[in-house]
Amino acid sequence: MEALQHISIKHRWEAIDFKNKQIKQAKLKQKDFHTETFSNGDARKQLLPRSRDLLYKAPNTFGG
């Protein structure tokens, strides 16, 4: 579980850094920045913490 937490945190920081670079590039080009969102409405950095809970659930808790 600790290893999964470490990987999740690493990917979240990568997503934050990626977004910051996009914002910086948009400012240099004097364009508005719009965050890319997935079909569920989450941005990349929001999706990672939400999906973390799925990784920790036992397979039999999903139902079906």
**What is the structure's pLDDT at 12?**
84
Average pLDDT over residues 24-51: 84
pLDDT band per the 50, 70, 90 thresholds, residue 11: confident
What SS3 string covers the chain? Answer: CHHHHHHHHHHHHHHHHHHHHHHHHHHHCCCCCCCCECCCCCEHHHHHHHHHHHHHCCHHHCCC
Write down the mean pLDDT value for the chain: 81
Q: Please tell me whether the overall predicted TM-score, pTM, comes out greater than 0.85 for this model.
A: no
Average pLDDT over residues 21-42: 88
